[in-house]
Chains A and B, each alone.
Chain A
Amino acid sequence: KNEVEQSPQNLTAQEGEFITINCSYSVGISALHWLQQHPGGGIVSLFMLSSGKKKHGRLIATINIQEKHSSLHITASHPRDSAVYICAVISQGAQKLVFGQGTRLTINP
């Protein structure tokens, strides 16, 4: 079993829908990252969080340390949100990122 599991692996939705991508991990962590990989391949860091919730525009990331779970939400989704979203965690004491396999999101107009 991978240390970081994302669900769903693929998600297709219509423009305007509320999107949720989930990330579960099996180890104690010191931080969690959400990344976005564009269709052209470039990777951008969206959030780094170790507790609670962060918001940036239409994107919201939450984390529940006790349940070892994080979610990435997109409100009022748009075709330009189509990308692969990647969750990555840093194990306590390890100081190295462990990546999930990514969730491919497609938003249709």
Chain B
Amino acid sequence: NAGVTQTPKFRILKIGQSMTLQCTQDMNHNYMYWYRQDPGMGLKLIYYSVGAGITDKGEVPNGYNVSRSTTEDFPLRLELAAPSQTSVYFCASSNQGQIYEQYFGPGTRLTVT
């Protein structure tokens, strides 16, 4: 099993550009999450999904959108990139919710200039 994979690993965006961060898991997990990690700060939840077709906002959803058309994929969309979105983004999945062990992807380092 590959676990949770994320692409790209690194990306530099100009202000106002759009991009999609890809996340795929092959463990048949229902729950998937997107987090951002800013320097010196704890991980913050952006969006999460409890199954295909169901998504919900986390702590810091503004400026982002998600979709969950399949169990495996949970892409994160940035429509109008802003410098405040410079961060490291982690996708994670779990079998039954955050009370259980989460499996993290390797992260995407995004810089918006």
- Most chain A CB inside 10 Å of its own CB: which residue of B41, B43, B58, B106: B43
Q: Nearest CB to that of A4 among chain B residues? A: B42
| Residue numbers in B under 8 Å from A98 (CB-CB) | 42
* Inter-chain contact B104/A44, CB cutoff 8 Å: yes
* Inter-chain contact B45/A96, CB cutoff 8 Å: yes
* CB-CB nearest 10 A-B residue pairs: A99-B42, A43-B104, A99-B43, A45-B101, A97-B98, A31-B99, A41-B107, A101-B42, A42-B106, A90-B99
Interface residue count on the B side (C-beta < 8 Å): 23
- The interface of chain B, by Cβ under 8 A from chain A, is 40-45, 48, 58-59, 88, 90, 92, 97-104, 106-107, 109
Interface residue count on the A side (C-beta < 8 Å): 23
